[in-house]
């Protein structure tokens, strides 16, 4: 059995914690592996260098949710279960805290639950050409640029327009992303085993606004209509901003690949209780 260890280079202590995990894996008869930008730490970590993630049975990410968002797409490509170890602040998707790493071999050898997390294919179409494509595990945000006046955002499900609203922006999220930006904007928490797309407006200029839940069976599209030289951008999973011009079509469809996320303990709702509700008690 092989487990690929990926750690966030920007997080203090990532290499040291990776070395501790690698030693625990070896003692359990699991071969620790390292890949990509982390290979400069191969000797320190004590892991085998590999050429592709597909050579491993599991992926272990060490960092925050951003590390899982980045590497979760690779894990999904190869149908490899991913286990997150939290080295960030919240680490909502991570099942293991840094003081719990001794239980990793047990989790990898079967004492875990696999949560299938749907993703969305994202296309930005301009004059019938796809100028940007990507995948979202969390969300896609379309928002007005800094100091811009409010654009009008139009959202359609299939061929039917469902919302036309002037706002700071809109969020279209997966159930996994329902606990991220959408939650802060007033959206509901959605169980990750559901297959749907959530639409939440950001500071809409209206007295009447509610989040909506769409089926994943139809494409979701969004357009921006600019007012008085307003400008907008899109961002996928918190990535770099891409200009969202008038006439562009933002198209979302269900990705055929799911992330296989390893959960431990009380899983998704346990994380809600421990990481979102606890500060209120």
Show which residues are catalytic.
65
b/e 16-46 (16+ beta carbons within 10 angstroms → b): ebbbebbebbeeeebbbbbbeebeebbeebb
Three-state SS string over 153-173 comes to EEEEECCEEEEEEECCEEEEE
Distance of CA 77 to the CA centre of its chain: 14
- Contacts of 211 by beta carbon, 8 Å cutoff, 6+ apart: 182, 186, 187, 188, 198, 199, 200, 201
DSSP state for residue 275 in the 8-state scheme: I
Could you give the C-alpha distances from 80 to 8, 75, 140, 247, in angstroms and in order?
A: 19, 5, 24, 39
Question: What is the C-alpha to C-alpha distance for residues 19 and 26, in angstroms, rounded to an integer?
Answer: 11
């Amino acid at each position: 059995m092989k487990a690929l260890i990926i750690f966030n280079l920007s997080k203090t202590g990532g290499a040291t914690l990776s070395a501790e995990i690698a030693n625990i894996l070896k003692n359990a008869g699991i071969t620790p592996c390292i890949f990509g930008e982390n290979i400069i730490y191969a000797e320190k970590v004590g892991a085998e260098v590999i050429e592709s993630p597909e050579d491993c049975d599991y992926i272990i990410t060490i960092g925050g949710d951003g590390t899982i968002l980045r590497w979760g797409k690779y894990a999904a490509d190869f149908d490899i279960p991913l286990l997150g170890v939290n080295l960030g602040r919240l680490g909502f998707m991570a099942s293991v805290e840094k003081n719990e790493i001794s239980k990793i071999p047990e989790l990898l050898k079967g004492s875990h639950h696999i949560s299938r997390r749907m993703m969305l294919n994202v296309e930005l179409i301009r004059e019938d050409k796809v100028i940007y494509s990507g995948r979202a595990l969390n969300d896609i945000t379309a928002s007005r640029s800094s100091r811009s006046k409010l654009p009008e955002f139009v959202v359609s499900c299939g061929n039917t327009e469902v919302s036309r609203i002037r706002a700071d922006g809109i969020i279209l999220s997966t159930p996994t992303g329902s606990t991220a930006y959408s939650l802060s904007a007033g959206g509901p928490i959605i169980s990750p085993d559901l297959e749907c797309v959530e639409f939440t407006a950001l500071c809409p200029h209206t007295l009447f606004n509610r989040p909506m839940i769409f089926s994943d069976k139809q494409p979701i599209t969004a357009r921006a209509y600019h007012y008085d030289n307003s400008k907008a951008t899109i961002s996928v999973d918190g990535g770099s901003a891409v200009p969202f011009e008038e006439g562009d079509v933002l198209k979302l469809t269900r990705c055929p690949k799911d992330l296989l996320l390893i959960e431990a303990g009380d899983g998704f709702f346990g994380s809600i209780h421990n990481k979102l509700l606890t500060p209120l008690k």
